[in-house]
């Protein structure tokens, strides 16, 4: 096994977050009763003509900027012709020779740069639902015409893990920059996977096998592992790898050859005469660049270098845009990023990590208020936990509630000193023991003070006073 | 003269079929047509075709959704429909 | 009382407005003509609501309501332009069940002016043809001689106007399909500048060449109707933002500078109709017009360029006719691949299938560069050559066709013989310039001949002005 290496290329499709479809004004929305988001254009009625969506072009440019691509100053759209029931016009409007974005890429955590070949804009096809012999296959064009970006990588990845990381980073960038929602369960992101193997050290590429339309990152991983193993076994047994498209069955965890003409399609691409070339002025590109928020890679750098978070902690916070945004909102309100990070990870994330919908039910205002009160020793650890739980359940104000529940410490340092004096006076033997072994007796004294103050005493102050008095 | 294989290939690309009799006539006619346009092949030209009349992206359609057509209108001319969708015979995996 | 069916668009609108005739009378008169001249087979369907619509117009007139400019004017529409609720068959058995769910933009515009749609006209299937002999409705005949073709593909639209079956009609022109039939029937037909008129709702043949245009009984009607249907349309990205002028406005010149293409002249020397055109040039010269000669080196490639570009675009545009969504479906199909191949093979006529196949061929891997891409480059070069010519002249003049309308069935089976009909007309489609065909003389069998007046892009107003000038001269009137 180890004398072979795997070479992987991905073509990732993501549905763009526009309000209307790519070439008509039908709504771009998942679901709906069949054929209720349709019009003559997206159903391919005679006489209908495509009218391109400005936002789709803008979001494609934005995606290109996020991945460091060059943006072409003229973009051309081509027709990709083939017959299939989910393709209403019998051609897909896509881009071939002059896509909107070229080159660019993504840097993995290891520092390895995975190059992109291009990012282009195209339209999605409708959906086929295969029922049974009586009913047949049903065609629904709701998804037809939804704008997609296709991000094509070079064959730079050498393991399933790298492919997973690449696709995850792509996904995060798209979500962070508000380009696509990438809801995997709604088909918001899919990948075509190209896998080949070759002997280590060999520069020539092996024969590649393609698996299309894989719609989860885990399935991408499984398909790569399976296919590279399949090819290696084949070669080790003296066979040859056939260049083909194979269908990945994620439930069975295997792939098998496709009978269809998939392998010998001639798409007869030519520039779509219904769509003029699109000019992309430099100023428009710069305007779009300004729209891009700080992306995950840059945010991580900031969290580590400016906020002094650990690599691990930064990673956890950035694993979901919602967490990162929440974290940053908190830091805006109360500039203690490390403390806030700890609270989020230990309290917030532990609750929601197993939930379906990861909704953070405590406002940044409340969380930071609690942390601040705790830092200022206005409330105790115990109280802070109670308060947190209450704020999670109910829509209340943390500060006001702390006050109402009598949590706010009304003890002055003078009061605390009085209590310390009381405790010391009541426990003369302990005072003697303290002089010998302070670390062992200290907890007892602190405990007694806490009892007397119902937990409100500042343990640090207590400790200080005891040391002062018994020295 | 276009070869039989070429004509078969073109039929497949065009999703058309022809029986033996039709095929012969078709082969002949297509060959005549191909010959008619073959002067194009031999013409010497190096004009730049790309980039005619490009339209500024800022003049493109605004991303505002409009009401779709009612499903009845969409399906009105369908030769076969079921449950609000166009119906075709059950497709085998690789159809 | 004058036969109201001999009148044109503007005249009829005026009569109705002035209450000199009722709209219902007009419509019934035209329907009577259609029935009497049924042998022409120019009209495929008379809409059953035409008389009701006419009655509505008469009510509006009676009630003194504000009337629109073309209130009550009956027009016939080519079978490939969509009218809501009406069949649009494209003269194909494949489309026999299709009822349009929306209006073409041109239809909406005409409707807004008060036009009544009388019915739809015969054509060559999917607009592929030059004789209207290839229609599922049967052949159409020339208005002036029923043994001859009306031309095509807008044969029905032109024959109908020539035979006074409506005030005017709409046709479509991809390689000459308005101008050639107009010329054959002695009427007036225009192909506007590409992009002048919206193609939304026109069943597409060749997207970069198609244009809709009016066919009329006189120049003024033609200019007026073209103005009504022109303009930028948000549904058609290729429609132009160029401003729409009053095409009937005359800025008046006493004489013009005309361009004659050397290669066209060369073709003319072989034609029996040459004397007719020589006489026209004589008359114009006598009246002070200048003639400049220019060469379009690629002129002889017009037809091959046209047939490569148009069939390539057509093969792609016709992919959507598939037996799944809105066409007839083959009864013999057991699975999806068969639905495609059997439905399409049964549904499309022979010429359509041949062009679809040629189109696939010229786009296919290995041939794209040699054919399609080359043809695009030649198109560019050809356009530049013509644009250069317009620097030296006001308009280019050339015959519309090589001869008068030919006898039905005389072209035989070789498709190429038919393609040569487009000899003089494809130039305007390939280059995108506007071209207007007017009757200009007679040929064999006393059949009409047409003269094309071509101007630079978006110069329709000048084109019509020149047409009026030439017509006046030909009629011996003072200009």
Q: What is the ipTM of this complex?
A: 0.95
- What's the gap between Cα C468 and its chain centre? 20
Helix (H) or strand (E) holding C286: helix C274-286
Domain that holds residue B28: 4-41
Q: B85, A34: Cβ pair inside 8 Å?
A: yes
**Alpha carbon of A88: minimum distance to chain C alpha carbons (Å):** 6
Which pLDDT value is given to residue A400? 86
* Binding-face residues of A in 28-87 toward B, CB within 8 A: 28, 33-40, 43, 51-58, 74, 76, 83, 85
φ, ψ for residue A198 (rounded to 5)? -155, 160
A216 touches chain C (CB under 8 A): no
Q: A79, C316: Cβ pair inside 8 Å?
A: yes
B70 within some domain: no
Instruction: Give the contacts of A270 (CB within 8 A, at least 6 positions apart).
Output: A78, A79, C312, C316, C363, C368, C372
Which pLDDT value is given to residue A4? 92
Residue A401, SS3 per DSSP: helix
Strands A244-249 vs A209-214: parallel, antiparallel or unpaired: parallel
Tell me: the pLDDT tens digits for C436-467?
999 999 999 999 999 999 999 999 999 999 99
Q: Which residue of A has its CA nearest to C80?
A: A47
B66 within some domain: no
Q: What is the mean pLDDT of chain C?
A: 96
pLDDT of C44 strictly over 60: yes
Which pLDDT value is given to residue A457? 75
Distance CA A41, CA A25 (A): 9
Which pLDDT value is given to residue C272? 94
φ, ψ for residue C161 (rounded to 5)? -70, -40
B19 within some domain: yes
**Alpha carbon of C459: minimum distance to chain B alpha carbons (Å):** 18
pLDDT of C477 strictly over 80: no
Average pLDDT score over residue span C399-422: 90
Helix (H) or strand (E) holding A220: helix A217-236
Number of independent structural domains in chain B: 1
B15 within some domain: yes
Which pLDDT value is given to residue B94? 57
Distance CA C114, CA C101 (A): 21
C96 touches chain A (CB under 8 A): no
Catalytic, out of C22, C37, C78, C330: C78
Which pLDDT value is given to residue A409? 65
Query: pLDDT exceeding 70 applies to what percent of chain C?
Result: 99
A128 touches chain C (CB under 8 A): no
pLDDT of C259 strictly over 70: yes
Helix axes of B4-13 and C350-363: crossing angle, nearest 10 degrees:
100
Contact status, residue C261 vs residue C298, Cβ threshold 8 Å: no
Q: A49, C199: Cβ pair inside 8 Å?
A: yes
B78 within some domain: no
B25 within some domain: yes
C310 is catalytic: no
A79 touches chain C (CB under 8 A): yes
Residues of A in contact with B15 (CB under 8 A): 83
Q: A38, B86: Cβ pair inside 8 Å?
A: no
pLDDT of C1 strictly over 60: no
Q: A34, B83: Cβ pair inside 8 Å?
A: yes
C78 is catalytic: yes
| H runs (alpha helix) in C136-273 | 155-162, 179-184, 219-229, 262-268
Which pLDDT value is given to residue C478? 67
Task: Give the one of A47, A49, A91 whose C-beta lies nearest to C316's C-beta.
Answer: A91
Q: Which residue of B has its CA nearest to C369?
A: B41
Average pLDDT score over residue span C125-137: 96
B65 within some domain: no
Which pLDDT value is given to residue B52? 64
Average pLDDT score over residue span C423-431: 96
Residues of A in contact with B53 (CB under 8 A): 276-277
pLDDT of C412 strictly over 90: no
Which pLDDT value is given to residue A383? 84
**Alpha carbon of B17: minimum distance to chain C alpha carbons (Å):** 6
Give the number of other CB atoms < 10 A from CB of residue A316. Answer: 19
Average pLDDT score over residue span C74-100: 97
B14 within some domain: yes
Binding partners of C (≥3 Cβ pairs within 8 A):
A, B
Give the number of other CB atoms < 10 A from CB of residue C31. Answer: 21
Please tell me the total number of residues recorded for chain A in this structure: 471
Tell me: the pLDDT tens digits for C168-188?
999 999 999 999 999 999 999
Give the number of other CB atoms < 10 A from CB of residue A207. Answer: 15
Which pair of structure tokens corresponds to residue B95? 């159809």
Residue A248, SS3 per DSSP: strand
Average pLDDT score over residue span C249-261: 91
Tell me: the pLDDT tens digits for A118-149?
999 999 999 999 999 999 999 999 999 999 99
Outline where DSSP puts E strands in C217-278: 257-261
Distance CA C444, CA C403 (A): 8
- What's the gap between Cα C193 and its chain centre? 13
**Alpha carbon of C96: minimum distance to chain A alpha carbons (Å):** 13
Distance CA C225, CA C214 (A): 6
pLDDT of B3 strictly over 90: yes
Which pLDDT value is given to residue A434? 87
Identify the segments of chain A with pLDDT beneath 70.
1, 259-264, 409-411
Instruction: Give the contacts of A152 (CB within 8 A, at least 6 positions apart).
Output: A9, A10, A11, A116, A117, A118, A119
* Binding-face residues of B in 34-93 toward C, CB within 8 A: 34, 36-41, 43, 45-49, 52, 55, 61, 69, 73-74, 76-80, 86, 88-89, 91-92
Q: Which residue of A has its CA nearest to C364?
A: A268
Q: Which residue of B has its CA nearest to A88?
A: B86
C324 touches chain A (CB under 8 A): yes
C153 is catalytic: yes
- Domains along chain A? 4-284 (no CATH), 292-404 (no CATH), 413-470 (1.10.10.410)
Chain A interface mutation, best of B56, B66, B86, highest count of A Cβ atoms under 10 Å: B86
Which pLDDT value is given to residue C302? 96
Tell me: the pLDDT tens digits for B6-65?
999 999 999 999 999 999 999 999 999 999 999 999 888 877 765 567 999 999 999 999
């Amino acid at each position: 096994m180890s004398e072979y290496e795997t070479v992987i290329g991905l073509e990732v499709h993501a549905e763009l977050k526009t309000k209307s479809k790519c070439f008509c004004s039908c709504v771009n929305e998942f679901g709906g009763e069949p054929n209720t988001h349709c019009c003559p254009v997206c159903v391919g009625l005679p006489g209908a003509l495509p009218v391109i969506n400005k936002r789709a072009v803008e979001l494609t440019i934005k995606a290109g900027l996020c991945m460091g691509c060059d943006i072409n100053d003229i973009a051309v759209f081509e027709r990709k012709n083939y017959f299939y029931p989910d393709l209403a016009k019998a051609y897909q409007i896509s881009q071939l020779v002059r896509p909107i974005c070229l080159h660019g890429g993504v840097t993995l955590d290891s520092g390895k740069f995975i190059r992109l070949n291009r990012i282009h804009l195209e339209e999605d096809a409708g959906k086929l639902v295969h029922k049974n012999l009586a009913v047949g296959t049903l065609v629904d064009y709701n998804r037809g015409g939804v704008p997609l970006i296709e991000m094509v990588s070079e064959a730079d990845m050498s393991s399933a893990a790298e492919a997973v990381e690449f696709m995850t980073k792509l996904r995060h960038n798209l979500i962070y920059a508000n380009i696509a929602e990438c809801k995997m369960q709604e088909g918001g992101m899919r990948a075509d996977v190209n896998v080949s193997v070759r002997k280590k050290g060999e520069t020539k590429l092996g024969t590649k096998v393609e698996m299309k339309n894989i719609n989860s990152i885990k399935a991408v991983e499984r398909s790569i592992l399976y296919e590279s193993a399949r090819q290696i076994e084949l070669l080790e047994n003296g066979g040859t790898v056939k260049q083909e498209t194979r269908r990945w069955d994620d439930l069975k965890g295997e792939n098998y050859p496709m009978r269809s003409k998939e392998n010998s399609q001639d798409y007869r691409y030519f520039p779509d005469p219904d769509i003029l070339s699109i000019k992309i002025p430099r100023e428009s590109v710069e305007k779009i660049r300004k729209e891009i928020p700080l992306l995950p890679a840059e945010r991580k750098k900031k969290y580590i270098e400016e906020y002094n978070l650990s690599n691990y902690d930064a990673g956890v916070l950035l694993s979901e845009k919602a967490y990162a945004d929440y974290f940053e909102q908190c830091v805006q309100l109360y500039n203690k990023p490390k403390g806030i990070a700890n609270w989020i990870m230990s309290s917030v994330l532990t609750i929601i990590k197993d939930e379906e919908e990861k909704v953070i039910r405590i406002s940044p205002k409340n969380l930071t208020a609690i942390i601040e009160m705790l830092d200022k020793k206005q409330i105790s650890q115990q109280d802070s936990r109670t308060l947190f739980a209450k704020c999670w359940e109910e829509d209340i104000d943390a500060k006001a509630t702390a006050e109402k529940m009598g949590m706010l410490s009304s003890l002055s340092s003078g009061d605390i000193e009085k209590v310390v004096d009381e405790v010391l006076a009541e426990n003369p033997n302990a005072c003697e023991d303290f002089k010998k072994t302070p670390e062992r007796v200290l907890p007892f004294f602190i405990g007694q003070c806490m009892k007397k103050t119902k937990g409100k005493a500042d343990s640090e102050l207590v400790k200080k006073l005891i040391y002062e008095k018994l020295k | 003269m276009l070869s039989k294989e070429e004509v078969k290939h073109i039929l497949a690309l065009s999703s058309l079929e022809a029986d033996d009799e039709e095929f012969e006539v078709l082969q002949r006619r297509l060959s005549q047509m191909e010959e008619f346009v073959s002067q194009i092949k031999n013409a010497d030209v190096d004009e730049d075709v790309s980039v005619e009349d490009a339209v500024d992206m800022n003049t493109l359609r605004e991303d505002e959704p409009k009401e779709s057509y009612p499903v009845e209108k969409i399906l009105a001319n369908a030769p076969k429909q079921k449950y609000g969708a166009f119906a075709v015979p059950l497709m085998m995996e690789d159809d | 009382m004058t036969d109201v069916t001999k009148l044109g668009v503007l005249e009829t609108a005026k009569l109705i407005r002035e209450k000199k005739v009722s709209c219902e009378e007009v419509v019934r008169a035209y329907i009577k003509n259609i029935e009497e001249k049924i042998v022409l087979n120019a009209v495929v369907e008379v809409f059953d609501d035409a008389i009701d619509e006419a009655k509505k117009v008469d009510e509006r007139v009676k009630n003194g309501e504000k009337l629109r400019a073309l209130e009550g004017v009956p027009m016939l529409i080519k079978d490939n332009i969509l009218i809501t609720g009406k069949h649009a068959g494209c003269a194909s058995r494949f489309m026999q069940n299709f009822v349009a769910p929306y209006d073409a933009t041109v239809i909406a515009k005409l409707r807004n002016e008060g036009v009544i749609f009388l019915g739809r006209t015969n054509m060559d299937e999917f607009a592929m043809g030059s004789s209207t002999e290839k229609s599922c409705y049967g052949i159409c005949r020339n208005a002036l001689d029923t043994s001859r073709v009306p031309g095509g593909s807008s044969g029905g639209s032109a024959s109908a106007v020539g035979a006074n079956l409506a005030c005017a009609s709409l046709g479509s022109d991809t390689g000459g399909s308005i101008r050639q039939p107009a010329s054959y029937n002695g009427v007036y037909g225009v192909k506007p500048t590409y992009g002048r008129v919206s193609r939304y709702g026109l069943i597409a043949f060749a997207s970069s060449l198609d244009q809709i245009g009016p066919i009329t009984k006189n120049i003024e009607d033609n200019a007026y109707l073209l103005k009504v249907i022109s303009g930028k349309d948000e549904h058609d990205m290729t429609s132009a933002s160029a401003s729409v002028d009053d095409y009937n406005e005359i800025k008046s010149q006493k004489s013009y500078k005309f361009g004659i293409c050397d290669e066209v002249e060369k073709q003319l020397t072989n034609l029996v109709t040459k004397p007719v055109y020589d006489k026209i040039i004589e008359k114009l010269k006598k009246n002070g017009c200048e003639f400049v000669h220019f060469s379009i080196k690629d002129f002889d490639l017009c037809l091959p360029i046209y047939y490569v570009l148009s069939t390539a675009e057509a093969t792609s545009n016709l992919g959507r006719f598939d037996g799944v969504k809105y066409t007839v479906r083959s009864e013999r199909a057991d699975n999806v691949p068969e639905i495609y191949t059997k439905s399409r093979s049964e549904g499309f006529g022979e010429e359509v299938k041949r062009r679809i196949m040629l189109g696939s061929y010229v786009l296919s891997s290995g041939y794209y560069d040699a054919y399609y891409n080359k043809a695009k480059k030649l198109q560019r070069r050809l356009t530049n050559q013509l644009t250069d010519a317009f620097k030296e002249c006001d308009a280019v003049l050339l015959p519309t066709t090589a001869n008068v309308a030919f006898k039905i069935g005389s072209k035989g089976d070789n498709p190429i013989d038919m393609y040569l009909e487009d000899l003089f007309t494809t130039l305007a489609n390939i280059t995108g310039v506007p071209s207007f065909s007017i009757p200009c003389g007679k040929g064999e069998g006393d059949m009409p001949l047409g003269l094309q007046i071509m101007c630079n892009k978006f110069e329709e107003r000048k084109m019509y002005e020149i047409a009026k000038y030439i017509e006046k001269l030909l009629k011996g009137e003072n200009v």
